[in-house]
Structure 1
């Protein structure tokens, strides 16, 4: 608990400093360098500014984990519910069509003395993995296999099944991609960061469940951390294993599950520095007879038996042939079934001379087949989908993601996004100059002008802090993820906002919109404008603020990775409402062009300070507008529905690393080899 209190204090320091600075600026306004706030309207404006500061601080305090003393079991239960809602094993990943691929595994003896005890009679199947894991002491497991063998599938299935049968005292399994673990970051801090980013936890609550040993990290992708040729002692993979060996819960090794390719882990184990106190399982290759069974039960083979019979006969006749070896992993087997199930003739694979040729022929047809399966009338053409996914694959290869993890808010901070950051800095600078122009051109700056100018400069500095490698957030990103506009999650969010302990935060956070309404509606004798027509302009802002507050009670992982741009868009609309009010007042007063540009620039700077990640993301899209769709999150959600992209927590990943690397090597779709002639009666028009 001491660590939680210290984390809470560290999070509270910048908020306290910011509140003191803003209150000092308010005091500058009051004093006015001798002028003071003389009128009632000025005093009402002052009260609104002070309450705005307090509302902002209280809202941010809610996001930094003020309730860190909450019961750990309750926190783990909520985390488990979130994981259960987003990490259910997608049957499409292991085959779909009611016929999954049978994944089996076997325990392997460790080459060192400090290994975990194994179950006496292991199940060795996908359904029995959790039972086997509970028999391991200590509960540390390494899942190894060849590329595409189903390590990620097995890990995802483990998370779903373990969470379904989890006892209250057991930790919550959380699937975490290892790609973005930095060399200088502690394992504890890295897991906490992912719980905040991917699962909507506050930082204090995430630290609490970690300190209590209520998180079971399921780490995917140890083999994807290093480039070829990196010396083993200097590799990130070796650093991860050293950190996991020292990861403890009390005096015992803490539970953990790790996936890695067989070849790399054999080398790490032979080096004498593997993950100690762990058991190891090896995923078996898919046998030719199992591949034939799976393909024969697919609806494509049932409906087009004549087309599929040569392929099935080849698998039975040559269980060690090129085709059987190419389909010896669940990933390739599912990709092949998807690519040829609808209209393509699978007989075209029989003439392949190597596994690479089989893979190329499958992947050429994989995207068009996935597009046809996703839409009756395709929203995107297969050619455009291929080109856009190629650009994203290249972005990940150059450091735009975490190796195989695509995090939308981090795209503008990647090594290849310099122009996006330059555009963002130029935007903030231009908006700041336009905002200050009304005061900089005056001959004499009064107290109000000086105070306002300092306030604008302070906001601009906060906006530029978003350029830091780790960013800077006045509003936690986990509080900005909103579901689709017609999603039933809105009803859940509204109920949670208006009931229980959340209602007090709702009341406090609604103070500023209510005061703006009062300022608009109240008669002039009470410091208001007494303008009923302006009420209609401010009502939308109140509704948008209520939507933002309701969205805060939803977990980021429940909403999905596309919820973050929606949160940024709703915040922009909430700021545009008072902007429209000020512009309409200027229009009624007959003021010049400066009166119109001033409120737009002011709220633009404020939006950059509150949601700089969103503005930087928009700058990245503008720089890459010819390479990727502008509505990138919508496109990625469509790709997820089509089976080309998978979602882990609050991030996107390609369906498989092999598919990502193939796309990175092929900027344009390859021409499909001519397939043998087929009976037109059995063909289906795409």
Structure 2
């Protein structure tokens, strides 16, 4: 058990534990995996919940993840026990108490299975006093940051010394009143870092001295925190602090609407959230129109008999597979493990290619390469060797095969290594794989003088097939279109920039706000409270060029 006050660094300590344990663990020891408790359902067994996250966040298959759990090779590091319940929920009915009960019963034979859990001190004290704490657990308590430690930290921050006139009253207040409002507000590492970020280079920290309550200090500090974080990272990308605040507010509201302490942004699941009904309706309408257009254009010219009925059944089957994506656990033709791709210029591509050609999946790669090789041979080989020697067709087919090879290579990488932004890139690459042959058919039809009417049916059929293969991607695009004025269309790029600015953190294949307190504050404040200030540097201590 890791306990501490809100913002004491429980999540940071859990992350540090995962990193250090992975660095020193032996082959026989379990692998620590950091998991957020926010979406654990009341009726879902703990083992099944961990397996679901290994599949969703780390690109594992269900069978492999279940085998790892049964062999005791996964060490769950569970973050956020205190974020599961709304205020006022009776303790016997709380999800936090049910989590402790489930973990107490999580055993291998007669021995308890190791887990690491984080929780606020006050809540865990209540859970312990209830007589049903987590048994056989050692407890690590994180102490508050004392005023003299806060002074030392702020004095050491880069550039703080070059604004002594602005910072001196703040440091003097901390020294003179170590139990005052300001000292209590900065008693956690999270708030201390947020305050230093908000005021060390821009804004005037002396405005905090006039605050009478900790909440007032928090409001002023967080309003400056976004502006100061965005100022050095995202303004050149066209993201003003006001727009960043408004977009993050909308995302915080989405998490708040899900309830149950939700604190993870999973891009494929945005369209399945409670407030995304119109996105799902738009997806159903899209699939329905593609199906109707496909049948309307093919059936008049289709041959009568079993072949025509076979085509109808094929289209209906593809439509059903596309609609199955509306369910969170629906059957997918292309699993999420094959949908996470690194950035286009990332060195991970070299790792993926080497792993695909030399790892355990090399035989599968060889088998999958047989058909593309035969297609290339048929296209490029001269006629006396059984080919067509059609270089025009080869130049059109070759990009499709290269994109397909990228998908095969990329799926050997773990989603956690790639990050949550790799999932939209995977959907885009699948679209290109299908778009290339569709473009070839369109070009051949136009060159033969057949017109767009002849090329339209294959294009519509490819679109319907894409919905069946990557329905999550299409649903995500529908969600973005419905919320176009509330969030940026390139949402994953925006969240990656927020991660670089320190506003968002990444855990496996999901995004999270930097801290739950920051998320809740954003949900309550649709616009910044005050305009940022940028006091001039003291001339006596200004840095010389």
What residue in structure 1 maps to residue 425 of structure 2? 566
Deviations 1:372-412 (A, max 9, x none): 23257353100110000001000111129971100001001
Alignment of 1:430-509 (within 5 A): 430-442=289-301, 445-509=304-368
Instruction: Report the Cα offset of residue 277 of structure 1.
Output: 1.5
Aligned residues of 1:439 and 1:449 also touching (Cα < 8 A): no
Instruction: Report the Cα offset of residue 568 of structure 1.
Output: 0.6
Q: Distance in 2 between matches of 1:561 and 1:681?
A: 47
Aligned residues of 1:348 and 1:676 also touching (Cα < 8 A): no
Deviations 1:205-263 (A, max 9, x none): 22222111121111000111112222222221111111100011232001011111122
Q: Distance in 2 between matches of 1:161 and 1:599?
A: 53
Q: Distance in 1 between matches of 2:470 and 2:259?
A: 20
Secondary structure of 2:116 counterpart? strand
Instruction: Report the Cα offset of residue 510 of structure 1.
Output: 2.5
Deviations 1:36-56 (A, max 9, x none): xxxxxxxxxxxxxxxxxxxxx
Instruction: Report the Cα offset of residue 503 of structure 1.
Output: 1.9
Secondary structure of 2:262 counterpart? coil
Q: Distance in 2 between matches of 1:197 and 1:470?
A: 11
What residue in structure 1 maps to residue 282 of structure 2? 423
Secondary structure of 2:210 counterpart? coil
**Match status 1:649 vs 2:508:** yes
1:324 to 174, 180, 183: 183
Aligned residues of 2:204 and 2:533 also touching (Cα < 8 A): no
1:603 to 455, 462, 466: 462
What residue in structure 2 maps to residue 19 of structure 1? none
Secondary structure of 1:219 counterpart? strand
Aligned residues of 1:198 and 1:651 also touching (Cα < 8 A): yes
- Quick one: structure 1 residues 296 and 597, their matched pair in 2 at CA, closer, same or farther if it must change by over 3 Å? same
1:189 to 48, 51, 54: 48
Aligned residues of 2:37 and 2:81 also touching (Cα < 8 A): yes
Aligned residues of 1:339 and 1:362 also touching (Cα < 8 A): yes
Deviations 1:487-508 (A, max 9, x none): 0000111111111432211122
Deviations 1:325-362 (A, max 9, x none): 00001100000000001122211111111101111110
What TM-score results when the alignment is normalised by the length of structure 2? 0.95
Select between 400-409 and 248-257 the one with higher mean Cα deviation.
400-409
Q: Distance in 1 between matches of 2:111 and 2:171?
A: 51
1:291 to 141, 144, 150: 150
Instruction: Report the Cα offset of residue 167 of structure 1.
Output: 2.8
**Match status 1:583 vs 2:442:** yes
What residue in structure 2 maps to residue 157 of structure 1? 16
Equivalent residues, number: 543
Aligned residues of 1:343 and 1:683 also touching (Cα < 8 A): no
Deviations 1:613-658 (A, max 9, x none): 1111111001111110100000000100100000011110000001
Select between 671-680 and 312-321 the one with higher mean Cα deviation.
671-680
**Match status 1:346 vs 2:244:** no
Instruction: Report the Cα offset of residue 678 of structure 1.
Output: 6.4
- Quick one: structure 1 residues 659 and 449, their matched pair in 2 at CA, closer, same or farther if it must change by over 3 Å? same
Alignment of 1:385-404 (within 5 A): 385-399=244-258, 403-404=262-263
Alignment of 1:209-248 (within 5 A): 209-248=68-107
2:232 to 362, 373, 381: 373
1:625 to 484, 505, 521: 484
Q: Distance in 1 between matches of 2:339 and 2:293?
A: 28
Unaligned runs of 5+ in 2: none
What residue in structure 2 maps to residue 333 of structure 1? 192
Instruction: Report the Cα offset of residue 450 of structure 1.
Output: 2.4
Q: Distance in 2 between matches of 1:441 and 1:210?
A: 54
Secondary structure of 1:653 counterpart? strand
Q: Distance in 1 between matches of 2:396 and 2:99?
A: 55
Secondary structure of 1:267 counterpart? helix
Secondary structure of 1:404 counterpart? coil
Deviations 1:566-605 (A, max 9, x none): 0110010000111112112221332243322211111111
Q: Distance in 1 between matches of 2:249 and 2:404?
A: 38
Aligned residues of 2:147 and 2:174 also touching (Cα < 8 A): yes
What residue in structure 2 maps to residue 364 of structure 1? 223
Alignment of 1:528-547 (within 5 A): 531-547=390-406
Instruction: Report the Cα offset of residue 307 of structure 1.
Output: 1.8
What residue in structure 2 maps to residue 7 of structure 1? none
Deviations 1:26-67 (A, max 9, x none): xxxxxxxxxxxxxxxxxxxxxxxxxxxxxxxxxxxxxxxxxx
Instruction: Report the Cα offset of residue 264 of structure 1.
Output: 1.7
What residue in structure 2 maps to residue 304 of structure 1? 163
Deviations 1:405-434 (A, max 9, x none): 000010011111111111111111111111
- Quick one: structure 1 residues 673 and 444, their matched pair in 2 at CA, closer, same or farther if it must change by over 3 Å? closer
Secondary structure of 2:159 counterpart? helix
Aligned residues of 1:401 and 1:407 also touching (Cα < 8 A): no
Q: Distance in 1 between matches of 2:233 and 2:374?
A: 48
Q: Distance in 2 between matches of 1:572 and 1:390?
A: 31
Aligned residues of 1:386 and 1:669 also touching (Cα < 8 A): yes
Secondary structure of 1:628 counterpart? coil
Unaligned runs of 5+ in 1: 1-141
Secondary structure of 2:506 counterpart? strand
**Match status 1:200 vs 2:59:** yes
Aligned residues of 1:520 and 1:528 also touching (Cα < 8 A): yes
Select between 247-256 and 398-407 the one with higher mean Cα deviation.
398-407
Q: Distance in 2 between matches of 1:517 and 1:569?
A: 24
Secondary structure of 1:669 counterpart? coil
- Quick one: structure 1 residues 606 and 658, their matched pair in 2 at CA, closer, same or farther if it must change by over 3 Å? same
Q: Distance in 2 between matches of 1:305 and 1:676?
A: 12
Secondary structure of 2:512 counterpart? strand
What residue in structure 1 maps to residue 265 of structure 2? 406
Q: Distance in 2 between matches of 1:264 and 1:169?
A: 35
Aligned residues of 1:395 and 1:401 also touching (Cα < 8 A): no
Instruction: Report the Cα offset of residue 182 of structure 1.
Output: 1.3
1:268 to 108, 111, 127: 127
